[in-house]
A and B are shown apart, each in its own frame.
Chain A
Amino acid sequence: MTPHSIGRPGRRHVVVVGAGPAGLSAARAAAEAGARVTVLDASHATGGQYWRHAAGPHEQLTDEELRLQHGWDTYCVLDAAVRSHPAVELVTRAQVWAAERHDDGPRLHVLVGEPDDAGRVPLTFSPDAVVLATGAHDRTLPFPGWELPGVTTAGAAQALAKADGVAVGSRVLVAGAGPFLLPVAATLAAVGATVLGVHEASRAGALARGWLDRPWRLAGTSGKLLELAGYAAGHVRHRIPYRVGEAVVAAHGHGRVEAVTISRLDPTWAPIAGTERVVEVDAVCVSHGFTPRLELAVALGTAITTERFVDVDVRQRTSSPHVWAAGETTGIAGVDAALAEGWLAGHDAAGGAPDERRARTAVRRRAATHEVARRMAAAHGIPVQGAGSGPGWLRWLTDDTVVCRCEEVTAGRLRDTAAVTCSTDPVSVKLTSRAGLGICQGRMCSAAVTAILGAPGALESRPVAAPVRLGDLARAAGPSA
């Protein structure tokens, strides 16, 4: 690895942030279009969330580990193409912690080394183009007890199984919303957990409206649907009950989760009184969707859609010159979309001709995957409106439900603070209640906070995209040389 520090005249230099499906695809396309490419990923391995795997050469994956992967061959081909291309440098354990906007283009500040360590190696890049492929993280709506150990996101269960070979518990319940719950349940079963059930918050009506509407439009998306069908078969095999219109509305336990309350939901996701039942568990995995990782995009000044994704055009260009985005930063549409978007972004960022045959194929593939995304949102989207005030899921919350996990701010304190200060402005309430001021910087709670306050959320700006030790910051390069 011989990282460079600045774009050189001549060949275009494209920096791709993220080596998940979108980033790898972008890197390959950019290199094939003639650019010099740097791929940066904070993780120890490439593959992103979808192809997360244990550290070490991936030929060494065991059969058990391979059983948890989908499209592994695609990954191996893509990864090999990126690694072997002479114009690509790949840096893993490379945390992009700040992105600066200069008049002559973006500048990325990177620390290379073990996560959160002191003394990491600083790198600075001033490329001709940046492709943001930073992915997403789970969004989990708060409920009483969600802060108990043993309550995790669905993604955490997936990541720990794939990369660490461990199950988050032995009697596990999976709940939330979206098709992603199915692979998580299948993975948990595969690593030896007893999965007590999958509870999807959306009700049959919404699911049918989303997924069964005009089925011919799904032509061309067979990959994802086949994968989902595979999970359904897996569920039959593992006898995992799948129930819709239900949610975990509380977790109970002392020092760890010991049981959860499941309730039936109305269409706004308000619990239906009298339908509660308690199930004993030692872990519960809950996710209601995904939130894109927007730190760098916001820092680079790209326009963000009302749904809070990076706004891109048909070529994956953002509103900021020099900046492209692909994958889950631009919408939640699954791995096929990420691959297609990555290709388009990398190709265009490298200055590739727009009307090539492959570009047309990628556009077509992206359009088909976006159809899946639209259906997913229609079928599984978190309700924003309910009867009375706010979405029904707010009724899961009691006054002492922790909302901000870091600063341990409860829903009651949040509401009280807003009431006594006569303010629902996120900037003010954050500073008077401390919700969102902790170490995760509101990544886990800010959407819930604004929903509870009934206020429009401010666009979160997190100029320090990941924590950096003061000593490393003091050594951070100024203008790159």
Chain B
Amino acid sequence: MSDVVVIGAGIIGAACARALAVSGARVTLLDRGSPATATSAHGEGNILVSDKGPGPELDLARYAASLWPGLSEELADELGPAFPALEYERKGGLVAATTLTGAEPLLAFARTQRAAGLDARPVGADAALVLEPDLSPDVTAAVHYPEDAQVQPVAAAEALLASARRRGVDVRGGTEVVGAVTSGGRIRGVRTTTGTVEADTVVVAAGPWSGAVGQRLGAPLSVLPRRGMVLVTTRMPHRIRHKVYDGDYFGATQSADAALQTSAVVESTAAGTVLIGSSREQVGFDVRLRVDVLAAIARRALRLFPTLTDASIMRSYLGFRPYVPDHLPVIGADDRLAGLWFATGHEGAGIGLAPATGEIVAALVGGRVPALDAHPFRPGRPGLLGASGEDHREP
């Protein structure tokens, strides 16, 4: 029998399983599909502090950002040169306003972040062009965030999984959790399509399906899918140096509006392609391509980088961010069923927040005080418990 079952082998489940194993627990990690192939393989790898306003999410992001350099080195050392590179790079972010009305809110936001201790440097249009020579000369204001970084999400998730396996974690794909085993008012394990797995602690890290999994375990949670689409260019000469995004990005992440929102996040990858994201829509798990969404993303990107007009788009892909109404991740014990925990709801930041989430879960489960106050992330906070929404229709 395991001490802990973690449900979902995306980057969050992988980080939790590894951290729990490091702290000595015997862990079984279950996924209904192949590990590291769901949401964590359909997003981008931005590790951003820049898009978060002062408060618990910024604290969590900064904690995560502080863990990544050491973690990526540790994983690289542990797994050796044959392991795919994590491509961790602290390249810094540049947030630019493209309209006159957008300039002041962007600078005001940066002031609040600075007050909270974040390195947020307003730069004039000229200085922005030095940082990013291809940036539109029409930029009205820009803020440079040296702490923003990026990582290759699937390599990172696989590295966490490989490291977890080395620490004895039993990673099982093709195993879908269908219900809970309970007795004496607490969880004792999970029922799966390949049999029952016993454990007194169960962590739900099932990404946008976490609400549905919670429901199966008798503890529904309001986690909804928020669709995002991304464009990928062919390999091109390396001209974009930072993660560059338009100032509207902040508005898009914090809005609860179900209608389509787009903002441009432009970054080059270690392979030489440029990723251009992204959109936010609440349309359930609808996987159908929408050209008008891609076109809207393209228009936004061109506002930032007019020189990208001839860039060749070879692919688009989409994923479903695990979204909760108040935009805060859900990390902690569920008071409704003893032994049940959640680690989910990271929306568009789960890659970056994964190491911090793993550390906090391991500490809380082990009865230790986490490095960061986890109270704001508790599942029992207002507005989360209850129906998982009717949005869990599969495509």
Contacts and interface: CB of A to CB of B under 8 A. Distances in A.
A428 interface: yes
A476 B293 CA distance: 10
Contact of B41 (A99, A102, A428, A479): A428
A437 B35 contact: no
A15 B290 CA distance: 20
A200 B35 CA distance: 41
A479 B292 CA distance: 8
How big is the B interface, by class?
Answer: 35 or more
Contacts of B82: 416, 420
Given A441-B315, A463-B317, A98 B158 contact: no
A107 B291 CA distance: 10
Interface string A38-66: 00000000000000000000000000000
Interface centre among B35, B308, B309 (most CB of A within 10 A): B309
B294 interface: yes
B41 A474 contact: no
Interface string A91-117: 000000011111000010100000010
- Chain B interface SS verdict (over half): mixed
A118 B312 CA distance: 9
Interface in B173-212: 173
B298 interface: yes
B310 interface: yes
Given A100-B290, A474-B299, A468 B313 contact: yes
B235 interface: yes
A470 B316 contact: no
Contact of B84 (A102, A116, A432): A432
A86 interface: no
A471 B379 CA distance: 44
How big is the A interface, by class?
Answer: 35 or more
Interface string A413-435: 00011001111010110011110
A119 to B, nearest CB: 9
B302 A474 contact: yes
A417 B84 CA distance: 7
Given A98-B289, A421-B161, A468 B312 contact: yes
Contacts of A99: 289
B48 to A, nearest CB: 20
Nearest to B42: A427
A467 B37 contact: no
Contacts of A478: 291-292, 295
Nearest to A424: B34
Contacts of A471: 298, 302, 309-310
Interface in B71-118: 79-80, 82-84
A467 B313 CA distance: 5
Given A463-B289, A463-B316, A476-B291, A428 B36 contact: yes
A464 B314 contact: yes
Contacts of B152: 431
Contacts of B288: 100-102, 301
A299 interface: yes
Nearest to A455: B34
Contact of A420 (B37, B79, B271, B313): B79
A298 to B, nearest CB: 10
Interface in B97-142: none
Nearest to A458: B37
A439 B273 CA distance: 10
B311 interface: yes
Interface centre among A299, A432, A462, A469 (most CB of B within 10 A): A432
Interface of A: 98-102, 107, 109, 116, 118, 299, 301, 407, 416-417, 420-423, 425, 427-428, 431-434, 437-439, 441, 462-464, 467-471, 473-479
Interface of B: 33-37, 41, 79-80, 82-84, 152-155, 158, 161-162, 165, 171, 173, 231, 233-235, 271, 276, 288-292, 294-295, 298-299, 301-302, 308-317
6 contacts: A420-B82, A431-B153, A431-B155, A468-B312, A470-B302, A474-B295
Q: Which 5 A-B pairs have the closest CB atoms?
A: A425-B34, A471-B309, A478-B292, A431-B154, A474-B298
